[in-house]
A and B are shown apart, each in its own frame.
Chain A
Amino acid sequence: MTMIHKNEGLRAWLLSDDFSSPRHARAHKAYVSWLRFSSNPLAFGGLLVVVLLILAASFAPIFATHDPLAQDFAKALQPPSLGNLFGTDELGRDVYSRLVYGARTTLYITILVTVIVGPIGFVVGAAAGYLGGWVDMVLMRITDIFLAFPSLVLALAFSAALGAGIENAVIAIALTIWPPVARLVRAETLTFRKADFVVAAELQGASTARILLRYIVPLCAPSVIIRLTLNMASIILTAAGLGFLGLGAQPPLPEWGAMAAQGRQYLLDAWWLTAVPGIAILVVSLAFNLLGDGLRDVLDPKHA
């Protein structure tokens, strides 16, 4: 059997809905979802940009043409050219290389915040929704208090108290992002709580933890994944806003928001210092929004 035949056979096997095993059914579903996702050009474009961002962050030394921290005052504020793709800043550093390394900062903040926020949202939301009663009341009141603040203002207050720096920015953003996730998980949990299969598990003596982990969490997962992906766009914008106000990553570490803020002093002489990092923030945040929308169409058809 040649390679092509084997692939065609695999394709047919994946596409047939005459399932031979649970594994087959799962593989079929994943493949069909992927086909649906990749047929949406906008979502696919978003995915490409995100993959590119991850590649740029992982292999920054390969992508970068210069040392992002190397200063050269003889070459300060040079406009974009072949030698310096996006020009140089006031210290003669290559803007393109700083942009590539800045991808690391952005990705670091985004991933860390998401990893912190996901479990907290799940625990708080599932506990409130499943246990109900006073647990629900207390947890939701706490959530409301955090929701009462506009998120950037709360993040500003926390960063101010904790001091500037990238780790503190992560904590500050995480503190402002978890409440909507908890709300979402709670709402989803409420719809499943009285379902027959949950009651059946309760009657069989399953523990609360088991019910939450094995029955509730997997059902909430698709909408939470969509929410977290869309959240990444706002995490990036909040992080950039904090960086812009000087509360994010500290120099000389390259961070897109801080780069744009610094460029403002030389706006009239060197527009690229502000324009380029801003466009990078825009493109990446747009990509996460498109990716989230695309995932919603595939994973959660009822809300599409």
Chain B
Amino acid sequence: MSDTEVSTTMQDNRWLWLLEALHKLVTSVAVILTTLFGLLVLTFVIGRMVPADPVLAILGDTFDQAAYDRVYQDLGLDQPLYVQFLHYVQNILHLDFGQSNVTKNEVVDDLARVFPATLELAILAITIGTVLGVPLGIISAVRRGTWIDHLARIVGLMGHSTPIFWLGTMVILIFYAGLGWIPGGGRIDLYNDGLVEGPTGMLILDAMLAREWEVFWSALHHILAPALLLGYAAMAYLSRMSRSFMLEQLNQEYILTARAKGLAQPSIVWKHAFRNIRVQLLTVVTLAFCGLLDGAVLIETVFGWPGLGQYLTAALFYADMNAVLGAVLLIGLISILINLLSDVVYRFVDPRTR
């Protein structure tokens, strides 16, 4: 809707529309704030459920009662639960996630260090999943019942059913140990390590910016297998969803009209039907991205990828709760932000929501 059209004839409607938009904005902000609050409550509760005594984790084995009491009070454990919770929220707002018992760093610094690696992997994987999965789903909807439809179904079913950590291990066994095509794990070769640092922390991007092509190829070589595996899981989901979205559109009457007008098949599929499923697709791509973070935890462990997932599993192994909660909170935050982003884009792309 262009401004000039509206302002002359429908002044009142315009105010109404603005008011409505404002109301929507306030509601969605309120929803996000409550979800964030719930996220904090959840991680707080999980932190309190741990059977291990946090005082002992700091003091170790040798201490006297006075030292125990002092640490107990320093940690605020003598306060009522809601005061402890307020402290917890306050700390989080100051980006203080506590110290990691294993790395002895602030958890925030650790997270900032490992997060770009996961982001790099996840972005590449979702790109692979979308670029392969969406066209596959659409083609199998258009050519329903042909071999390509069956192929897409098999690909989808296998993607839904394969334990990704196992698939990753088998890929290492065959392509690293057997054929020697891929590296055995990690982000980069030893002799290229540390040549490129910052600004984004995503090695491939940084290497391109610094024009260090050897580093670039090494990083690409390392990311290929884990990204393809994660991308495969996303692709299975996306192809299945885009097939059913497309089928729904192709059964509509406007498609029949377009066919009656004599439009060519590609034009019907891509100009008419596809435009109408873009919004739905966007939503499932964001869902796939969140699901991908799950797979990333396992794939990073299998491939020794120094990202958020590996950090989380290592912290779990050493019962390093500050680090675990920090990582979990970060993953929850990312999911919420991505959903918010899809919501915003949704409003821009779909005229019905305006």
On whether the beta carbons of A260 and B163 are closer than 8 Å, the reply is: yes
Minimal beta-carbon separation of A300 from chain B (angstroms)? 14
For the complex, is A132 an interface residue (Cβ under 8 Å from B)? no
Bin the interface of chain A by size: 35 or more
Residue of B nearest to A278 (CB): B166
A146 CA to B316 CA in the complex, in Å? Answer: 20
A281 CA to B39 CA in the complex, in Å? Answer: 32
- Specify which of B166, B298, B319, B335 is in contact with A152 (CB 8 Å cutoff): B298
On whether the beta carbons of B161 and A233 are closer than 8 Å, the reply is: yes
Find residues 169-213 in chain B having any chain A CB closer than 8 Å to their own CB. 169-170, 172-173, 177
Spot the interface stretch: A16-24, A33-41, A51-59, A268-276.
A268-276
On whether the beta carbons of B169 and A141 are closer than 8 Å, the reply is: no
Find residues 228-248 in chain A having any chain B CB closer than 8 Å to their own CB. 233, 237, 240-241, 244-247
- Specify which of B34, B46, B325 is in contact with A141 (CB 8 Å cutoff): B34
A162 CA to B294 CA in the complex, in Å? Answer: 20
On whether the beta carbons of B38 and A141 are closer than 8 Å, the reply is: yes
On whether the beta carbons of B163 and A237 are closer than 8 Å, the reply is: yes
On whether the beta carbons of B165 and A289 are closer than 8 Å, the reply is: no
Find residues 281-320 in chain B having any chain A CB closer than 8 Å to their own CB. 290-291, 293-294, 297-298, 301, 312-313, 316-317, 319
- Specify which of A141, A153, A274, A277 is in contact with B294 (CB 8 Å cutoff): A153
Given the interface pairs A267-B172, A275-B170, the reply to whether A257 lies near B321 with Cβ below 8 Å is: no
Minimal beta-carbon separation of A80 from chain B (angstroms)? 16
On whether the beta carbons of A289 and B51 are closer than 8 Å, the reply is: no
Find residues 277-295 in chain A having any chain B CB closer than 8 Å to their own CB. 277-278, 281-282, 285-286, 289-290
Minimal beta-carbon separation of B330 from chain A (angstroms)? 10
On whether the beta carbons of B312 and A153 are closer than 8 Å, the reply is: yes
On whether the beta carbons of B294 and A152 are closer than 8 Å, the reply is: yes
On whether the beta carbons of B39 and A148 are closer than 8 Å, the reply is: yes
Minimal beta-carbon separation of B115 from chain A (angstroms)? 14
For the complex, is A10 an interface residue (Cβ under 8 Å from B)? no
Given the interface pairs A144-B35, A245-B313, the reply to whether A286 lies near B49 with Cβ below 8 Å is: no
Minimal beta-carbon separation of B335 from chain A (angstroms)? 5
Minimal beta-carbon separation of B159 from chain A (angstroms)? 10
For the complex, is B221 an interface residue (Cβ under 8 Å from A)? no
Residue of A nearest to B298 (CB): A241
On whether the beta carbons of A157 and B325 are closer than 8 Å, the reply is: yes
For the complex, is A163 an interface residue (Cβ under 8 Å from B)? yes
Identify the B interface with A (CB < 8 A).
31, 34-35, 38-39, 41-43, 46-47, 49-51, 157-158, 160-163, 165-167, 169-170, 172-173, 177, 290-291, 293-294, 297-298, 301, 312-313, 316-317, 319, 321, 324-325, 328, 331-332, 335-336, 339
A-B contact pairs, 12 of them (CB 8 A): A146-B42, A148-B39, A150-B331, A152-B294, A152-B297, A153-B297, A156-B312, A156-B316, A160-B324, A245-B297, A260-B165, A285-B161
